[in-house]
A and B are shown apart, each in its own frame.
Chain A
Amino acid sequence: MRMSRIVRTAADILYPTILIFGLYIIAHGHLTPGGGFQGGAVIATAGALVIVAYSYAEVREWLSGKVLMGQEVIGLVGFIGVALIAFAFGQVFFFNYLNASGSLFGIPVPYGINAGELNTGGFVPLMNFAVGIEVWGGLTLVLIYMLSGLEKEVC
């Protein structure tokens, strides 16, 4: 059952906004409060919003469960993979090999108060992205699975 045109228009506007805000929280996880889990949970609320505004059957036409499951798997495997690459540098598991290396996310950070550069943090931003993608897929998938048990169309 679809809700009124006002609600649907508001959901259309808010859906990309929530997506961008969640990705911002994920991308700035190493500078500001937040991180992968929090940003992924924020993005999962966007899925709940469109399911409330439109109907479950209508949302399922473009929101594929396979893609979400793939996201979840890619997130978890990417998380372990990024941690495993440390072995290639002759270091231990979960060693931050990218920190202060000068390459991607490799600007060194001094001790104390600083302005905060996005290109810092070593592999922490990569981990944030992996966990964020996983939580995004996972929580939306839980929502979809639970709504798939509906006997009749209520939302």
Chain B
Amino acid sequence: MKKMLIVAASLLILAAFFGVMAMTFSFGSPKMTDMDDYFLRHGQEQTGTNNQCTSVTFDFRGFDTLGESTVLFCAIIGVALMFRKMQAGDEHENE
């Protein structure tokens, strides 16, 4: 019973928090727009791409995409390690 009360109270508090957030900040009109405006105004001339998402991911934030590619590479190495074939009779995998 006490557990249920605690769960209900925390859910109520969370709902009130998100409700207040949704009411205070209106969707589609952010408070700080300097960076968005810069990307939209200069993105086409500086990167030559019409698709501004690509201009951000591959040019302005190229390091982020480099990290993503590296993460994918490491994930595939992990899968390859998990599913490698052991020879018959091997007890230790690193031999």
A30 to chain B, nearest CB (A): 4
Partner of A134, one of B47, B63, B72: B72
Which residues of the other chain, B, contact A83 by a CB distance below 8 angstroms? Answer: 62, 66
B58 to chain A, nearest CB (A): 5
A145 touches B79 (CB 8 A): yes
Among B3-11, B16-24, B38-46, B87-95, the stretch in contact with A? B38-46
Tell me the bound Cα distance from A110 to B82 in angstroms.
50
B50 proximal to A (CB < 8 A): yes
Which residues of the other chain, A, contact B73 by a CB distance below 8 angstroms? Answer: 72, 76, 134, 138
Among A2-10, A11-19, A45-53, A114-122, the stretch in contact with B? A114-122
Given A124-B48, A131-B69: A145 and B59 interface contact (C-beta under 8 Å): no
B29 proximal to A (CB < 8 A): no
Which residues of the other chain, A, contact B62 by a CB distance below 8 angstroms? Answer: 83, 93-94, 127
- Interface size on A, as a range, is 35 or more
Of all chain B residues, which has the CB nearest A35? B54
A75 proximal to B (CB < 8 A): yes
Tell me the bound Cα distance from A72 to B79 in angstroms.
14
Which residues of the other chain, B, contact A124 by a CB distance below 8 angstroms? Answer: 47-49, 54-55, 58-59
0 or 1 for each of A120-148: is its CB under 8 Å from B? (1 = yes): 11101001100100110010011001101
Given contacts A31-B51, A76-B70, 6 further A-B contacts (CB under 8 A): A31-B49, A93-B62, A109-B44, A111-B41, A120-B49, A141-B80
- Residues on B lying within 8 angstroms of A by beta carbon are 41-42, 44-51, 53-55, 57-59, 62-63, 65-66, 68-70, 72-73, 75-76, 79-80, 82-83, 85
